[in-house]
Structure 1
Amino acid sequence: MNTLKIDKLTKTYANGVKAMQNISLEIGNGIFGLLGPNGAGKSTLMRTIAGLQQPDSGQIIFNGADVVAEPVLIKQHLGYLPQDFGVYPKVSAYDLLEHLAVLKGITSAKERKEQILALLEKTNLYAHRNKAVSSYSGGMRQRFGVAQALLGNPHIIIVDEPTAGLDPEERNRFNNLLSEIGEQVIIILSTHLVEDVHNLCTQMAIINKGSLLAYGEPDTFINQLEGRIWSQTIDRADLPTFREQYQVISVQLHAGRQSIHVYAENEPGNGFALRQPDLEDVYFAQLYHTK
């Protein structure tokens, strides 16, 4: 069982942006979802965990080792899939994985070959192993990204916005692959897609403006909102009035009209109907209460 303990991480950039403010988390095997809007601090947190930058203060303990003091300790056990990764033109998937395996310190040619072929099979790319990665579709590239992240049998994998731009079929295939991998290792999944977190993650955190807003199990958060989320379809012109009168947490378009969700401890009246909360309501309720 792998454990990652993050204790009071703080980071302020030279321009004054507080990217992390006393963030504390404890993560074990499985897929951990990290939700937040652009600029929330997700990437800063992931780069710090990966040892790519130092925090101003705080600790990161991975399987008992202090990786802030010695970043190389986590890099030896880390797989990383960034949102965008470049590939060499005209280099096949097999040859690129061979090159990356050497960089990761897999010195045995026999071991490299066995790992690469097994990973190509696992990611459903074996039939395309001799094709240039630059010619792959978006979904195939993401699966290749998983293959390179798994080289060297890492204990922790960081995945940044992995399904952005994928069609529904590729997204499902990718998520199934992550779910299978997450049984043995820690996967930190940074995303803005609430549905992916609900489908994949047993634990999650919501961060915004560098601060931790919520940390726990998705279903627990949903249950806590039971009886507090109300909805109504309104004319677009009436939205400003409703924002003044109610705690509007989200607005969606339906057939040219706007469906609004509001947070209220008691029935707000005025035509609102109680709705079954979901993780998207949790997300927007947390963001709303921090404004």
Structure 2
Amino acid sequence: MNQQVKSISLSGEIPPEAFNTRLDQCIAQLFPEYSRSKLKEWILANCVSVDGEVVNTPRLKMKGLEQISISADLETQVEDMAEQIDLDVVFEDNDILVINKPAGLVVHPGAGNQSGTLLNALLAHVPDIEHIPRAGIVHRLDKETTGLMVVAKTLAAQTHLVEQLQSRTMGREYEAVVMGNLIAGGSIDENIGRHTTKRTLMAVKHSGKPAVTHYRVKKKYRAHTYLRMKLETGRTHQIRVHMAHIKHPLVGDIQYGGRARLPKHASENFIAVLREFKRQALHAIQLTLTHPISGETMTWQAPLPEDFKQLLAALDNDAQANGLSESM
């Protein structure tokens, strides 16, 4: 076990709308790159100051506009975690790394996935990234979701990227195939929280965190719709939960109800393609952000993976075989 200690200093301001909210909850919103348990630990260890005075009461109610300072030691413990795993690098400089994540790659180690993750790959690709919280990962894609992710290589870059995520200025666009026929585009503005009984899943809940998904129709098929989507927020499983909520779950998303629905007179080949598509049909196709150091606006696109293209081809063939004209 290689243990290292790095001193960190954080600062921020409690927003006015956080009136009467607990200190631990406020700083969790201010510094989302750190776990709630770590932030609470720092409060109890006298590492957190409010308006210049050390505070060790996590439940202390805030009034809004308080200045928060955190001075703490961050321990990094790495036990044979760096692994040589090929990454599809779309862009890289001294500050950020943009990758095109394949299906099947888990982002963080966890139960059942202690190795072979993106984090393991990053530790090998950028060894110094072990000093950055969560190895520079500022947003996630689900294991079976493909497409673009940005990773911070420095603390300064991470801070700026997290600010863009919080202020909703980072543009993340996706493409997806969903069950059923959607006539036109729209927006879904529904809070998302942990599922009441299925703890590994999320659900639309009034008590959850705000979540907004915009979508537009790219193409209509007999029993499916091809969508382009844009996120304002980045909640866990957001697109999957929102689309299931409006009764249009993603193709292949068994967890949220995307079991194959077969239109009448479907060919054996088309039935096979649908049944063999074993992951959610979701791809992070475009990422736009302000470079955290240069301030330049940058945009990247990732081509659709082969299985997604094969799914679209099968949908096209089924539509044409059954007399449905293209609708873009």
TM-score category (smaller protein): under 0.3
Greater relative contact order, per chain length (Cα 8 Å cut-off, separation 6+):
1
